[in-house]
């Protein structure tokens, strides 16, 4: 009956400008401080930007234009948000472990090992999505699961993303455990 779509689009319409206003306020407050923004503040801003990208009510464009790529764009928007969210969690836990050494300025380069599982999982799912939904832009009846090669390719990318997710989860649990150990020793 369309009730869900109306509520969903209404929420996006309300929250999108609200989140932008909050981000502008947050970044102005950060720049009022007499220091450069630290990595955690930059990551929080990036997470907010990714949330704005996810919540932008682009669906209004479909009322006027024929946009067959909206499913693919929605998947990409969700992928960007989740990649940023997972990256933020890793950096957040890592920064809590480095809180004792305040003299060192941390950067994203220090977390390249931590973030490689996130990158591998996101790239795998993006390739899978492009193989499935990207081809459906030309042929709406196409499915990667019909052929043996397509099935094997799809399963490979899904399994690779699953392994990356497992490695990420184990590493995040280890980092949270390390944070609790550091906090309990104080």
Residue 126: closest CA among 57, 77, 170: 77
Q: State residue 183's pLDDT score.
A: 82
Q: Please give the Cα distance from 128 to 105 (Å, whole number).
A: 37
Spans of all domains in the chain: 3-184
Residue 118: closest CA among 84, 148, 150, 68: 84
pLDDT tens by residue, the chain, 186 residues:
668 888 999 999 999 999 999 999 999 999 998 888 888 999 999 999 999 999 999 999 998 999 889 989 999 999 999 999 999 999 998 887 765 555 566 788 888 888 898 999 999 999 999 888 888 888 888 888 898 999 999 999 999 999 999 999 999 999 899 888 888 887
DSSP string for the chain:
--HHHHHHHHHHHHHHHHHHHHHHHHHHHHHHSSSPPPHHHHHHHHHHHHHHHHH--GGGGGGTS--TTHHHHHHHHHHHHHHHHHHHHHHHHHHHHSTT-TTSPP-GGGGHHHHHHHHHHHHHHHHHHIIIIIHHTT-TT--TTSSHHHHHHHHHHHHHHHHHHHHHHHHHHHHHHHHHHHHHT-
Q: pTM of the prediction?
A: 0.86
Q: Please give the Cα distance from 107 to 39 (Å, whole number).
A: 6
């Amino acid at each position: 009956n369309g009730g869900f779509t109306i509520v969903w689009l209404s929420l996006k319409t309300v929250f999108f400008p609200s989140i932008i206003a909050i981000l502008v306020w947050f970044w102005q407050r950060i720049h009022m401080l007499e220091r450069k923004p630290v990595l955690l503040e930059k990551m929080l801003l990036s997470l907010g930007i990714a949330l704005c990208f996810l919540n932008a009510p682009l669906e209004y464009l479909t009322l006027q234009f024929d946009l067959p790529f909206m499913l693919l764009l929605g998947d990409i928007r969700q992928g960007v948000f989740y990649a940023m969210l997972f990256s933020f969690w890793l950096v957040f836990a890592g920064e809590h472990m480095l809180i004792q050494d305040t003299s060192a300025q941390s950067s994203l380069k220090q977390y390249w090992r931590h973030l490689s599982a996130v990158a591998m999982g996101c790239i795998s799912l993006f390739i899978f999505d492009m193989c499935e939904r990207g081809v459906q832009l030309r042929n709406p009846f196409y499915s990667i699961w019909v052929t043996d090669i397509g099935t094997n390719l799809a399963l490979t990318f899904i399994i690779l993303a699953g392994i990356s997710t497992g490695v990420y989860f184990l590493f995040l649990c280890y980092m949270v455990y390390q944070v609790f150990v550091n906090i309990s020793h104080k």
